[in-house]
Amino acid sequence: MRTRSIRLATALMLVAGLATAGCSRGSTAGGLIGGAGGAVVGKATGLGTTEGAVIGGTAGAIIGD
C-alpha cells in the first residue's frame, strides 16, 4: 500500500510540474506540487488528503515565492 502511495505522489508531482511548465516557477508551481504531494502524505499518515494538501500547498507556495 505504501508503494502505491509513493507512486501516486510521484505521478501527481510530475503532472503538476508539467501543468505549470508554461507558467512562472513561483508560488503557483510550488503550491500545486506541494499540494499534490501533501495530499498523498496526508492519506498515508492518516491526517487526511484535504488537510495534507492545504499544508503542503501552503508550504510549497511559500518556498516557491
Contact (CB, 8 A) for 55 and 42: yes
Grid coordinates belonging to 15: 503532472
Looking up cell 498515508, which residue turns up?
44
Domain ranges within the chain, ordered by starting residue: 2-64
Does the structure show a pLDDT above 80 at 48? yes
Proportion of the chain above pLDDT 70, given as a percent: 68
* 33-61: average pLDDT: 82
Does the structure show a pLDDT above 60 at 46? yes
**For residue 26, is it left (φ>0), alpha (ψ between -120 and 50) or beta?**
beta
Q: What is the pLDDT of residue 17?
A: 63
pLDDT band at 55 (very low <50, low <70, confident <90, very high): confident
Q: How many CB atoms lie within 10 A of CB 45?
A: 11
- pLDDT tens for residues 11-41? 767 666 655 555 556 777 778 788 888 888 8
Alpha carbon 51 to its chain's center = 12
